[in-house]
Structure 1
Amino acid sequence: MIIGMFLVTFIPRVIPLILLGNKELPEKVILWLSFIPAAVLSALLAPSILLQNGSLSLKLANTSLVAFFPTLLVAYKTKNIFYTVSGGLVFYLITAALF
């Protein structure tokens, strides 16, 4: 099982390095690849922010959604991951205490 998991995670990482290691990628490919981290992070966070008990919740009772907006503002203003995560935790705790 461990060897299988190693192969499944290792091979997709090594093959592009072997095939593309010495080649210059086109500008459009580099631009496209630059959006992947934000897209993956959004895909991971959106369900935990928007869903409660398996269904869409856009109410003030959804503490994650209410805490998301000031956290987004902190992220936009500071562009610092430490302040964003710390602010998000504080906003979530305050929201959970209020609601």
Structure 2
Amino acid sequence: MEIRPSFLWMLLGASLVTLLPRILPLIVLSRVRLPDWGLRWLGHIPIAVMSALLAQELLVSKGAFSPQPVALLSAVPAFAVAYFTRSLLGTVVTGIAATMLFRYLSSLLALS
């Protein structure tokens, strides 16, 4: 397989564009002492991002507000496991198992 120079330059450029926004903040923030309020504020970012992703997945379908009953039912046991155990693996396994169970039950009800 032949690699053209233009493809190689494109790959290197894409790598640089992807790497710089991740490395520069680490370099800058490693030398700066952030105030306590700034650290507390930064601590909320992962929760806010995860909440936005979950809300979109559970409540939006094809660009419109359209809650999916199976997804909402599956989220309840997954949220319970996440709250009580704080285990990412347990939460994911519970969510997958609940989704499988509720999809199976909904297909049985649809056949009846």
How does the TM-score come out when normalised to structure 2? Answer: 0.74
- Aligned ranges for residues 51-90 of structure 1 at < 5 Å? 51-58=60-67, 62-90=69-97
Alpha-carbon distance between aligned partners in 2 of 1:93 and 1:83, rounded to the nearest angstrom: 15
Give the CA RMSD over aligned residues: 1.7
Alpha-carbon distance between aligned partners in 1 of 2:62 and 2:28, rounded to the nearest angstrom: 45
Alpha-carbon distance between aligned partners in 2 of 1:30 and 1:40, rounded to the nearest angstrom: 16
Q: Quick check: 1:74–1:84 contact (8 Å CA) kept in 2?
A: yes
Deviation at 1:89, TM superposition (A): 0.7
Distance 1:64 1:29, change over 3 A: same
Equivalent residue letter for 1:56: F
Is 2:45 the counterpart of 1:41?
no
Deviation at 1:85, TM superposition (A): 0.6
Is 2:36 the counterpart of 1:27?
yes
1:93 to 97, 100, 105: 100
SS in 2 for 1:24: coil
CA-to-partner distance for each residue in 1:23-53, whole Å, 9 max, x for gaps?
2111111111111111222222222211234
SS in 2 for 1:25: coil
Structure 2 unaligned regions, length at least 5 = 1-9, 107-112
Query: Could you say which structure has the larger radius of gyration?
Result: 2
Alpha-carbon distance between aligned partners in 1 of 2:63 and 2:82, rounded to the nearest angstrom: 27
How does the TM-score come out when normalised to structure 1? Answer: 0.82
SS in 2 for 1:97: helix
Question: Which structure is higher in RCO with an 8 Å CA cutoff and minimum separation 6?
Answer: 1
Aligned to 2:5: none
Q: Quick check: 1:52–1:62 contact (8 Å CA) kept in 2?
A: no
Structure 1 unaligned regions, length at least 5 = none
